[in-house]
Structure formats: C-alpha cells, structure tokens
Amino acid sequence: MHTPSISLTEFILDEERSFPDATGGFTHLLTQIEYAGKIIASHVKKTGLVDILGKTGEVNATHDEVIEIDRFSNNLLMDTLEASGQVYALASEELADFHYPEKNQGEYVVFFDPLDGSSNTDVDITVGTIFSIYKKSDNLLQPGSKQIAAGYILYGTSVMFIYTVGHGVHGFTLDPSIGSFLLSHRDIKIPSYAPIYSVNEAYYHTFDERTRKYLDDLKKHEEGLKSRYVGSMVADVHRTLIKGGIFLNPSDRENPNGKLRLMIEINPLSYIIEQAGGKAISGDKNPLDIIPSSLHDRAPIALGSPENIDRYLAKR
C-alpha cells in the first residue's frame, strides 16, 4: 500500500497543533529557512559554473577565510529571516555581533552558520547550513538548553532538512521534481554504539590526554574499527547521527578552549544528537549547560552514540 508523502510544511503545521499557544510565527520562520535552503542548494550545485566559488580575500568574525558562496548564503539567510517579521535578532558565523532588524518586533533569536564546510566546495564535498532558534530574552547569550529548535540543511548527493523542536529528530529529503522536502526519516534514533570514530588525527600529538588515551585504546581493542572524517562538521555529524559512533573535535595545544563555535555549531548539533538518543560532552560538561560569555565562544566537543561517549568519558 502506498503511503502518502508528507511535506516539511505539512509536518511543521501538524506539529504546531500540539502547541496550544502557537500563533503561526514560528512555523513561518521555519518555512523561511526551508525556502532559503532550497536557493542555497541550487547555488551549491552550480559553484563550478558561476562566480561564487572563489575566495573574497576577507576574513569573517572568527578569522576564517570568506569565500563567495559564504557571503551569498549569509546575505540570503539574513534577508530571508529578516523578511519573515518573526526575528528579534540574528547571529551568524560571518558577523562580529548580533544584527537587529529595523522592525525587530519578532519573538525569536536565530543563530546560524550559513555554509558549514564551505572551504570544501571546490572539491565537491558535502556542506550544510546549521541553525538554532531561541525565544527572545533579556540576555541573548543563553545556554543551549534554552533552544526551542535546531536543525541543518545538508547539501550532498541529496538535499536533506534535519530538525528538532524538542520532540525527536525528523529528516526530509528534497524531491527536485516537485521542489518540496518530503518526510524520509521519521523520529531518527542514533545507534547505541558503533565502532566508528571521526576526528582529524593529523593533530593527534596536540590533543588533550583523554582524547589520546581514548584513540589509543580504540586501536588496540576495538574489532572492526572504522575511521571516517570528512572535515565538514555538519557532514561528519550527520553520518554519526545515522550510522552511530563518535565525532571528536577536542581541545589541543593551539586551541585549549576548543576550536568550534559554541552557539553556532556545537549547541544546535548537540541538541539534535541528544534528541535522537545520543550524548554530547564538552570537557566534563554537557555543552548545552554552558553559559556563553560572548557570541563567538569556542569549546571542545565529543558527541555521538551514548555507549561511545560513555567509553570516552571513562578515560582519564
């Protein structure tokens, strides 16, 4: 028997009905992110054909080189989210501080990485847009536990929209023939354990002691061990979500406080992993409990299958 396809918009509207106080504003915000993702996806597919591939010669607020498609994606998301009328403030990897729309009467604060892994576009590696949504508050630097939604749009062999509003994780795949995201992965659950690890081992000798001990132990005792590392966080975390295992970006000698951005990368992806039954750890803390001191705070991270994380934590 054929099961009718459920579109992302239909699914979001259906979820909205479970919130008695919903006004439709949050749904509109998510559909605007969906709309921007479709446009970014079409441009990512053409980066070798149009003039949005090269470097701009600029660096962003976190000192990463900006390439043309970064700037395009950032501007598109800024304009699209601002046009929704639902946003009080926006925060992007590309901006030094919060951006307040002129008509900032919205109830939501959106953090986003417009194109995570963008330096890989010239070699056709999967990249993605990461987003995180909070309710407006007197202090916009809220811990990740206050997120009301998080997700990412993956631009790979297919285009996927993964998101959670705190009631499980769901995945939608873009059907290019009709231009709609269709439900393809309902209520994703991360495997409890998998012999897979994802880390840039070129930096092994600079890693903290726990991470080195953990990796040494894996190689000595784990049967069927697999190393999988793309170098695009959103792609590595997506694989970990679906296949299980552990993703590591630990502190090292050059980055004692970690390298990845807490509010823009770590919090949304940790929230997704936890909602799928996994675990995340930053040093000895749950990253979602960390109270940020600035927009671009960084932190170490290990996330993935619960048993993998427990074994990592057992190393001292």
Catalytic residue among 68, 82, 265, 274: 265
93 is catalytic: yes
CB contact at 8 A, 99 and 91: yes
Catalytic residue among 34, 68, 70, 236: 70
Judge whether 113 counts as a catalytic residue. Answer: yes
Question: Does the annotation mark 115 as catalytic?
Answer: yes
Catalytic: 16?
A: no
Cβ atoms of 271 and 142 within 8 Å: the answer is no
Residue where the block lists tokens 């998080």 = 150
Q: How far apart are CA 74 and CA 43, in angstroms?
A: 13
Q: Does 175 qualify as catalytic in the annotation?
A: no
Q: Position of tokens 């006004």?
A: 23
- Strands 149-155 and 159-164 turn out to be antiparallel
Which of the following is catalytic: 34, 68, 82, 93? 93
Active site residue 254: no
Is residue 289 flagged as an active site residue? no
Given 34, 82, 94, 252, the catalytic residue: 94
| Residue 224 CB neighbour total at 10 angstroms | 7
**The one catalytic residue among 113, 236, 252, 274:** 113
310 is a catalytic site residue: no
Instruction: Give the integer Cα–Cα distance in Å for 237 and 65.
Output: 22
- Please identify which of the residues 29, 30, 115, 215 carries the catalytic annotation: 115
Which of 68, 116, 252, 274 is catalytic? The answer is 116
245, burial (CB in 10 Å: exposed 0-12, middle 13-18, buried 19+): buried
Active-site entry in 16, 64, 107, 307 = 64
Catalytic residues, by residue number, are 64, 70, 93-94, 113, 115-116, 265
